Amino acid sequence: MNTIQIRKRELNNCRPEPTMNEDELNRFWDHYLHVYAGSPLQIDSEPEETPYPHMKVSKVTYRGFDQTPIHAWYITPADSNESSKRPCVITFPGYSGDRGLPERYAHWLMLGYSVLAADVRGQSGETGNLLPLDGGVVKGWVSQGITDIHRSYYMAMAIDTVRAVDAALAQPGVDPAKIAVVGGSQGGGLALLAGALHPKVAAIVADIPNLCRMDYGVLHSASSLTEIAQYIKRYPDLLDPILYHLAHFDILNLAPRIKAPVMVSVGWKDTVCMPETIYAAYNRIEAPKEIRDYPFSGHEVNEYQKREAVLFLERVLGKA
């Protein structure tokens, strides 16, 4: 057995204990999802000009957690119509990113799919953040409200993610049985979170996902979770309540709620979303699942994996 095979065996056996009781976690989310199920989306949609003749673009705005307006693109092939129902791919950006320009999603349109490309609140897109800043934060976003789960950035981001699925379902021409969620890094974590919290998600592609085994990430990661580590460094007496807070959003704990087919990718040299975090969550997913290992990749999604994602969604959702 060579070194690569040994490492693969180690990762397959990476099965840390959940950090939160499953019944308690389910009661928490069932309550919150019930509360927000009755909250109006207040969707606004305006046509957006594009230089590309083969796509039709609308700028969509809907209300997320705390009524923050979340901005997104809804993009379809130019020849689409409401009577022809298409699969819809919902995309989430990586940390500090945004939805970008509509042409970023042209490969999904070439398959005949529609796309809802959503911003994440407060980051570099058009979407703001109405959460109250009534306590100190570490540089970045994720430590906002970290001592109050009911008003924290993670809670807002989670509900925003669920609302993105609701907003996609409300768009014309979307097949409600063929909703996919896709993203890399932060976006990959949000794709898994959407799959765990929204029953209408039919397929998930989570590349190098964040939000997995978050306590390990706080200790070892080189990216967003260092903000939480810095906060705890300043307030070491808050370590246990903050880790309990994070446990509510950790895919390690939420994995059994995922019912849709999943594809996950992992870079073994990734120091941001480390394989020990991704495999820990992946190994607890009970739904049909596939993983793609890249032993010599870091925190990146290569062209080969982008094609693998396309082929996976074609297998799960079919052609438009």
Percentage helix, strand, coil for the chain under 3-state DSSP, each rounded to 5: 40, 20, 40
- Residue 185 appears among annotated catalytic residues: yes
Tokens 């796309």 correspond to: 115
CA distance 298 to 309: 18
CA distance 248 to 250: 6
- Pairing label, strands 114-118, 289-294: unpaired
Per the CB < 8 A criterion, the answer to whether 227 and 140 are in contact is: yes
Which of 80, 119, 270, 297 is labelled catalytic?
Answer: 270
Q: How far is CA 264 from the centre of its chain?
A: 12
* Helices 186-197 and 153-169: angle between axes, nearest 10 degrees: 70
CA distance 318 to 88: 12
Pick the closest to residue 186 from 108, 122, 113, 241 (CA basis): 122
Which of 45, 66, 107, 299 is labelled catalytic?
Answer: 299
Per the CB < 8 A criterion, the answer to whether 283 and 274 are in contact is: no
CA angle, 87 then 260 then 246, to 5°? 115
Which of 80, 114, 152, 185 is labelled catalytic?
Answer: 185
- Residue 270 appears among annotated catalytic residues: yes
Per the CB < 8 A criterion, the answer to whether 285 and 262 are in contact is: yes
- Residue 299 appears among annotated catalytic residues: yes
Which residues are tagged catalytic? 185, 270, 299
